[in-house]
Amino acid sequence: MNTDPMAVRDLFAGHYFLFAFLASIGALQIAVSNSGIRGLWLTPHAGITRILGIALILTGIAVFFLQPLWVEGPWAAGSVEADSLTREWGKASWSEIAGARNVNDIHGGLDGVKQTGWFALAVILAFFVSAVVGTLSMKILSAAQSGNAGTLTNSDTDGLEGLSNRSYLSNLPISWRNFRTDIRVLWRGELAKTDRWSLMRMLSRKGGSSE
């Protein structure tokens, strides 16, 4: 390739991160709108949130694969048919758009490890954005439904069930409090169940019965 592989890698990383972020937040919005987890909605309405999620996924796909048409990179028109080492820097043509992203990781493309890292970061950011914007959406939803008693409750339910009635930032302290209360009992109970089926305990029971 006639360009610095590090420059190619930086370009690919930025494009892939944007794609992964839009696809992740879109998929998350579809999931939470279908399950009624209002604390992570980007809008106060389920239908609009679902449509927005679909639009975000389609936008991410379109932008990622069509960016070579207007963003210069290792896919200049007339060079995409060559291997990724001898490509030119420039904008791709419509006829070459399918192969524009096919760049070997040795020459600046993203390998599996780097893709995993960028994808994980994009998912975390998508959840964080949903949690923050969801707080604003819950306030709008609460104000709109203030005349309907009991629509949004302040019960002690936590986890995903709690997110149906409050924002993530409001639900987190309650979930943490309930977790600290229940973890000791759950830990002891599950540990006791596990210990009943441990190898040493089973062998000791068999040894005792044979006597």
Over residues 153-166, the pLDDT tens digits come to 555 565 667 677 77
pLDDT for position 129 = 94
* pLDDT at residue 65, rounded to an integer: 93
The pLDDT of residue 148: 53
Q: Can you tell me the distance from the alpha carbon of 138 to that of 124, in angstroms, rounded to the nearest whole number?
A: 21
pTM: 0.74
- The 8 Å CB, 24+ separation contacts for 85-93 are 85/1, 86/1, 86/2, 87/1, 87/2, 88/2, 89/2, 89/3, 92/68, 93/69
Identify the H or E element spanning 170.
helix 168-196
- Distance separating alpha carbons of residues 22 and 59, to the nearest angstrom: 7
Beta partners for 73?
90
Beta bridge partners of 74: 90
pLDDT of residue 58: 97
Per-residue pLDDT at 149? 47
pLDDT at 23: 96
Flag residues of the chain having pLDDT under 70: 1-3, 141-160, 162, 173-176, 178-211
54-81 tens-digit pLDDT: 999 999 999 999 999 999 988 888 888 7
Q: How many CB atoms lie within 10 A of CB 119?
A: 17
